[in-house]
Structure 1
Amino acid sequence: MSNDDFSFFLQEMQDVSPLKTRPKADIRKTAEKTPGQQQRREAAQQELHDPNFLSLENPVRVKPHDMLVWKRDGVQEGVFKKLRLGKYPVDARLDLHLKTAKEARLEVFQFINDCRRFDLRTILLVHGRGEQSNPPAKLKSYVFTWLPQFEEVLAFHSAQREHGGNGAVYVLLRKSEEKKQENRERHLRRR
């Protein structure tokens, strides 16, 4: 290309401006998070760090006057009968009346863990019958679903009338290793 051609080219292109390229996608991050984004992020983080394994989804539905009965394999019939008849002294009691399912979830989880920490053996959970709740027996259904999820829970049965009847449940907790050892020593002394 000669110098004349190049000069001519520059002269012709003098008033032309280059096209501005636009990015194909907007990759700029928004500075502010919407309330919905913030709420979802907090819920996800809480879920990751929450030791409470009890779920608020799909409880096994029971009716207000149903009797709650459950025991693990290996629980002796005599022990279960004594629990059912309310013959064990109640070491602790938790009343869930007027609690939301979310509040009850937290309280039941904390209560069972506290009872285990203090080596309590028999406890009473008062959940009510839930005849007026929507759906009926809402908390009762949650309690029935949650209790078997605890490894510490060996058995439970609806309470005797004087302890709340079908609106409450006796719960038998697993013995701690220390209590098992005390029991062994006590039985060895008898021989």
Structure 2
Amino acid sequence: MNDEDDASLFAEEVAGIKQLEKNEVYLRKKGPQVDFQVRQTAALIVKEADKNHLSQDYVEKVEPNDVLGYKRSGVQEGVFKRLRQGKYGIEARLDLHRHTVAQARDQVYQFADDCLRNDIRVAIIVHGKGDRTPDPANQAMIKSYINKWLRDLDTVMAFHSAQKHHGGLGAVYVLFKKSEKVRLENWEQHQKR
């Protein structure tokens, strides 16, 4: 087809169509006026209400007997080794047994926030191995999400599967970053030396 054929086909298709006047254009039936200010305020309230950015989308599945481990750059190898070995005192604990993914998401987000606000450096999250679930496709679901969520939280510096006496592969040690208050105290303490 050439340009002339295209033009004639178009002319045939639009033949008989009359142009609407400006006041005749309707996108939909007229109804009550929408108050966009109310909509904007409602959207801001919802946005503030759910500051939780942890994903509920698909995550890479881990197996019930997989070891979880992660450390951000800047975490010293010796610190990570002590965390892995369970040599730090556990200051807080979160148990996620019998929680749905949505409940666990909310709990983990709030727990991380609480730990930072209360200057907690090392905590343990008990997620279970998920090996007792009858459906193999849903095994280790919470464990898989924990593996993703902890990486996504800026307050988490490192985590590793726990030692057997702390829950083994059904729990993780979590190292949180120092709060600004603790950072300042440490800086001041080192300046006095």
Which band: TM-score by shorter chain?
Answer: 0.7 to 0.9
Quote the offset at 1:29 in angstroms.
5.5
In 2, Cα distance between equivalents of 1:96 and 1:148: 18
Unaligned runs of 5+ in 2: 1-25, 33-41
Name the SS of the counterpart of 1:120 in structure 2.
Answer: coil
Which ranges of 4 or more aligned residues in structure 1 deviate by more than 4 Å? 45-49
In structure 2, what is the equivalent of residue 102 of structure 1? Answer: 102
Larger Rg: 1
In structure 1, what is the equivalent of residue 92 of structure 2? Answer: 92
Partner amino acid, structure 2, of 1:123: A
In structure 1, what is the equivalent of residue 112 of structure 2? Answer: 112
In 1, Cα distance between equivalents of 2:70 and 2:100: 24
Quote the offset at 1:59 in angstroms.
1.3
Distance 1:175 1:26, change over 3 A: closer
In 1, Cα distance between equivalents of 2:94 and 2:126: 6
Deviations 1:69-113 (A, max 9, x none): 100011100000010000110010000000000100111111110
In structure 1, what is the equivalent of residue 121 of structure 2? Answer: 121
In structure 1, what is the equivalent of residue 132 of structure 2? Answer: 132
**Identical aligned residues as a percent:** 48
TM-score by length of 2: 0.73
In 2, Cα distance between equivalents of 1:63 and 1:156: 17
In structure 1, what is the equivalent of residue 162 of structure 2? Answer: 159
TM-score by length of 1: 0.74
Name the SS of the counterpart of 2:120 in structure 1.
Answer: coil
Distance 1:58 1:26, change over 3 A: closer
Quote the offset at 1:55 in angstroms.
1.1
In structure 1, what is the equivalent of residue 144 of structure 2? Answer: 141
1:168 aligns with 2:171: yes
Partner amino acid, structure 2, of 1:83: L
Unaligned runs of 5+ in 1: 1-23, 31-41
Distance 1:83 1:25, change over 3 A: closer
Deviations 1:112-134 (A, max 9, x none): 10111101000100000001234
Partner amino acid, structure 1, of 2:175: L
Q: How many residues align?
A: 157
- The RMSD of aligned alpha carbons is 2.6
Partner amino acid, structure 2, of 1:76: Q
Quote the offset at 1:178 in angstroms.
1.9
